[in-house]
A = this chain, B = another copy of it.
């Protein structure tokens, strides 16, 4: 059976996976790039961006788990675009003509539209569905490979609450956002289904992994 995985999902020390005030100019709201600075510093990120350099340590090692064995991503409407993107028929995501997914991507939205085929193997599909329904559809598209849940925090939380996630990689960044979208709300006792491991990085973040028993 293919696995359902989350990778490189950053939260602040106070548990926010995104900031407040998301907009086209501020995809992460008042959080800016602070949640993901650890990732931008990695060689993996540099490679994807066609740049030289980047770190080759613990953070890079974790970051590189993002793509291998993944056949499809499921993401929330809030990751695909700024509030109101569904009113713009030309909106094709934040990522330009060649998005970094290179697989089918299912966008959960109450406003479905026809699929959009991008360069590099990414096709955006739009689904109005529950987590379990979306996962069934995504698994078919994944052709035996794993399914990545791409975020934002609401979508990861909904899939966790539905007990659909096999492996969760969270990156706790040492900042206090104070407001935004919380990852952990309403998940009391979740850890009883998982082995939990944590390892802190010299960069200052702590990688937390929950792996289903």
Footprint of B on A, CB under 8 Å? 13-15, 172, 174-179, 184-191, 196-200, 204-206, 208
Cα distance, A23 to B199, chains bound together (Å): 35
Please indicate the chain B residues that have their CB under 8 angstroms from the CB of A196 in the complex.
13, 174, 204
Pick the contact of A187: B178, B190, B205 (CB < 8 A): B178
This chain: how many copies in the complex? 2
Pick the contact of A198: B179, B191, B206 (CB < 8 A): B206
Pick the contact of A13: B174, B176, B208 (CB < 8 A): B208
Asked if A184 meets B176 with Cβ closer than 8 Å, knowing A13-B208, A14-B15, A198-B206, the reply is yes
Cβ A176 vs Cβ B198 within 8 A: no
Cα distance, A60 to B14, chains bound together (Å): 25
Please indicate the chain B residues that have their CB under 8 angstroms from the CB of A15 in the complex.
14-15, 184
Please indicate the chain B residues that have their CB under 8 angstroms from the CB of A191 in the complex.
13, 174-176
**What are 26 pairs between A and B in contact, CB < 8 Å?**
A13-B191, A13-B196, A14-B15, A14-B185, A15-B184, A172-B172, A172-B198, A172-B206, A174-B191, A174-B196, A176-B184, A176-B187, A176-B188, A176-B189, A176-B190, A178-B186, A178-B187, A178-B188, A178-B189, A196-B204, A197-B204, A198-B205, A198-B206, A199-B200, A206-B206, A206-B208
